[in-house]
């Protein structure tokens, strides 16, 4: 019973651990679903906005084919943004797959927990039933022991009351003849007790078989529970590996955000450089306008200034050529990473060649019309037109810069969200580590309970062998008792037949009744009623003392033949009593 109680306590602890693990899994699943839904909605909106902005930027970059440097920078930024978008899409798909796998695992764990709880309830109910049955069996055994003690006491009393010697006096002889026991009630009680003993033995065999079957089922259930616990631990290890992958992906996201921030800083720096260049160009435009106004008055000064401006333009063109060479080298290095944008780069290079041809044509025109005012005016007008176009392009670039700053703010928000998610995943990882520790403790407890169950199984097998031996011994004893019972019944029938024959002979040989004497007779009714105990009153027939009084008088002399018959009958009665007492001793031994 102590082993069973210990196992019940262990099972209750297991249920507590499983319920705690189930609550934690449900809480983690709810939090993860909320975060994933928020992230999915936010990512989808960010992706849509980024795609719209990328499309607008690509259109603007396609329209801004004149400025090769700006176009190259924007192409690089677009390439980085597209790669980040692709990576974010891939990461979003991976997150969706992990969420689905977590949901499926949680559903399977809930189903397995429900099945294990149902099985535990059934096993607990069976244990309660077996406990009640064992208590009933113990109460029945106690009642049978009490009945056995009571019957053995009654038999001892019967033996004491019925075991009387043959005295030489005629009064004692007549009293011995008066004690003619009729053991029908005791025989009935013996038959009932034997039937009840056989019935209880059959029930005991059935209950032992049922207990053995239930015990094997319980052991099998414990083995299945331990296997299920090991499977749960393996699943937890898989979940830990997946969380490690998620952490790695978050680290990759952080690195990607850092790269994007660096690229945005580079873009902003280059835009500031371009703004400075455009301010310089505006200043030059002002100078050129002043020069044109003065050129009408002073042609020579205008020619000198134009030559200086042409030399400056040549130097700027040389600088532009050098910068173009540098950007070409950068494009050659980044050509592997921007294979998707190769066609656009080809278009941009063709447009750059066209611009070079145009610049060359302008140079040739400037060389042809250096000494001519009309050429200078045309050149100044063309420069003014170009400056107007460049001013419009500067406005467009400012608009793109503003949009890029907005995108940078959005990326900052996205980075903050990712950092929050990373911290939350670290917190969940700590919780999972605690759960894994608890599950390891639970595994140790299950292994200890498994060892206890194995020991209990061995003990129960030994007890079963002892029970089988005891049952075989009891079966042999019941067979012997049945044989003795049949013999006793035969002897009792013979004894009853002899008693009836003896009573008939005594009735036939009795003398006529004598008048009652004045002295008090020892066979008076009142004296007889005092001498007779309740056992005598139930054991002997009610008319036995009348028969003795009418047939045996202490003052009369009886014949030797009748005395011999009485002695023979008393000896047979004593033998029957000894045999009866010996049979009862075998049925109900006094040591038990």
Per-residue pLDDT of the chain (592 residues; tens, 9 = 90+): 566 677 677 777 777 776 776 787 778 778 878 887 887 787 777 777 767 776 766 666 566 556 656 656 666 766 777 777 787 778 777 877 877 777 787 677 778 767 777 877 787 787 778 778 777 877 777 777 777 777 777 777 766 765 444 344 444 444 444 444 444 666 677 677 778 777 777 877 787 787 778 778 777 877 887 787 677 777 767 776 776 777 777 678 778 777 777 776 777 787 778 778 777 777 776 776 675 566 567 656 656 665 676 677 677 767 766 766 775 676 666 666 656 655 765 676 677 677 677 767 766 765 675 666 665 667 667 777 777 787 777 788 778 777 877 877 777 787 787 778 778 877 877 887 887 788 778 778 777 777 887 787 788 788 778 878 888 888 888 888 888 888 888 888 887 888 888 878 777 776 655 554 444 444 444 444 434 443 333 344 444 444 444 444 444 444 467 777 777 877 877 787 777 777 767 766 654 4
How far is the CA of 278 from the CAs of 204, 308, 360, 398, 511, in angstroms?
108, 19, 22, 12, 166
* C-alpha to C-alpha distance for 56 and 47, rounded to whole angstroms: 14
How far is the CA of 221 from the CAs of 158, 226, 233, 274, 405, in angstroms?
56, 9, 18, 78, 65
* C-alpha to C-alpha distance for 521 and 553, rounded to whole angstroms: 10
- 255-279 as b/e, with b when 16 or more CB fall inside 10 Å? ebbeebeebbeebeebbeebeeebe
| Closest among 249, 240, 309 to 280, alpha carbons compared | 309
Domain extent listing, the chain: 280-406
- C-alpha triplet 176, 181, 187: angle, nearest 5°: 160
Query: Model pTM?
Result: 0.22
Q: Tell me how crowded residue 3 is: count the other CB atoms within 10 A of its CB.
A: 13
Chain centre distance of CA 430: 20
Indicate the angle between helix axes 184-295 and 299-334, nearest 10 degrees.
160
| Closest among 237, 218, 234 to 10, alpha carbons compared | 218
- C-alpha triplet 333, 338, 342: angle, nearest 5°: 105
pLDDT at 510 (0 to 100): 65
* C-alpha to C-alpha distance for 580 and 592, rounded to whole angstroms: 19
* C-alpha to C-alpha distance for 452 and 463, rounded to whole angstroms: 16
- Beta strands (DSSP E) in 129-196 are none
* C-alpha to C-alpha distance for 200 and 140, rounded to whole angstroms: 8
If DSSP codes are grouped into helix, strand and coil, which group holds residue 168?
coil
* C-alpha to C-alpha distance for 345 and 364, rounded to whole angstroms: 28
pLDDT at 302 (0 to 100): 55
* C-alpha to C-alpha distance for 493 and 499, rounded to whole angstroms: 10
* C-alpha to C-alpha distance for 548 and 176, rounded to whole angstroms: 10
Q: Element (H or E) spanning 15, and its range?
A: helix 2-63
**Beta carbons of 249 and 91 less than 8 angstroms apart:** yes
pLDDT at 349 (0 to 100): 65
Q: Tell me how crowded residue 145 is: count the other CB atoms within 10 A of its CB.
A: 12
């Amino acid at each position: 019973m102590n082993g069973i109680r210990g196992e019940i306590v262990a099972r209750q602890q297991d249920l507590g651990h499983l319920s705690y693990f189930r609550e934690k899994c449900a809480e983690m699943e709810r939090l993860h679903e909320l975060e994933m839904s928020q992230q999915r909605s936010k990512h989808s909106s960010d992706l849509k906005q980024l795609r719209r902005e990328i499309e607008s930027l690509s259109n603007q970059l396609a329209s801004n084919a004149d400025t090769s440097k700006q176009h190259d920078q924007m192409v690089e930024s677009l390439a980085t943004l597209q790669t980040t978008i692709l990576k974010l899409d891939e990461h979003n798909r991976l997150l969706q797959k992990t969420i689905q796998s977590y949901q499926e695992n949680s559903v399977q764990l809930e189903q397995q927990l429900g099945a294990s709880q149902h099985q535990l309830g059934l096993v607990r109910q069976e244990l309660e039933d077996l406990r009640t049955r064992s208590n009933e069996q113990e109460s029945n055994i106690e009642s049978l022991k009490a009945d056995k003690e009571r019957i053995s006491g009654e038999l001892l009393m019967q033996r004491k009351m019925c075991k009387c010697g043959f005295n030489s006096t005629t009064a004692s002889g007549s009293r011995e003849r008066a004690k003619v026991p009729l053991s029908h009630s005791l025989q009935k009680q013996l038959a009932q007790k034997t039937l009840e003993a056989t019935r209880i033995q059959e029930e005991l065999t059935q209950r032992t078989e049922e207990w053995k079957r239930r015990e094997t089922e319980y052991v099998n259930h414990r083995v299945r529970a331990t296997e299920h616990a090991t499977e749960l631990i393996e699943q937890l290890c898989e979940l830990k590996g997946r969380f490690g992958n998620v952490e790695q992906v978050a680290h990759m996201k952080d690195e990607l955000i850092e790269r994007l921030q660096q690229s945005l800083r580079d873009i902003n720096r280059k835009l500031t450089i371009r703004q400075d260049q455009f301010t310089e160009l505006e200043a030059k435009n002002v100078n050129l306008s002043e020069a044109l106004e003065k050129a009408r008055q002073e042609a020579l000064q205008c020619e000198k200034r134009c030559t200086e401006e042409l030399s400056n333009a040549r130097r700027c063109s040389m600088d532009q050529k050098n910068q173009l060479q540098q950007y070409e080298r950068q494009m050659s290095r980044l050509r592997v990473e921007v294979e998707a944008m190769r066609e656009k780069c080809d278009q941009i290079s063709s447009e750059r060649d066209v611009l070079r041809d145009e610049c060359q044509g302008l140079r040739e025109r400037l060389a042809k019309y250096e000494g001519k005012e009309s050429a200078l005016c045309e050149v100044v007008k063309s420069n003014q037109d170009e400056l107007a176009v460049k001013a419009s392009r500067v406005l467009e670039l400012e608009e793109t810069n503003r949009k890029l700053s907005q995108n940078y703010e959005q990326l900052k928000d996205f980075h903050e969200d990712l950092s929050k998610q990373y911290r939350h995943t670290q917190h969940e990882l700590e919780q999972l580590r605690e759960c894994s520790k608890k599950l390891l403790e639970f595994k140790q407890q299950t292994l200890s309970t498994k060892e206890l169950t194995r020991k209990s199984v061995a003990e129960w097998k030994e007890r079963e062998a002892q029970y089988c031996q005891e049952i075989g011994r009891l079966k042999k004893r019941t067979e012997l008792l049945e044989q003795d019972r049949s013999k006793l019944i035969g002897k009792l029938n013979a004894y009853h037949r002899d008693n009836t024959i003896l009573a008939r002979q005594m009735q036939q040989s009795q003398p006529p009744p004598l008048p009652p004497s004045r002295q008090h007779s020892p066979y008076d009714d009142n004296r007889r009623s005092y001498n007779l105990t309740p056992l005598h009153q139930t054991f002997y027939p009610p008319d036995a003392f009348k028969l003795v009084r009418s047939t045996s008088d202490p003052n009369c002399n009886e014949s030797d033949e009748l005395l011999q018959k009485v002695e023979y009958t008393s000896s047979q009665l004593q033998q029957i009593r000894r045999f009866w007492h010996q049979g009862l001793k075998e049925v109900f031994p006094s040591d038990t």
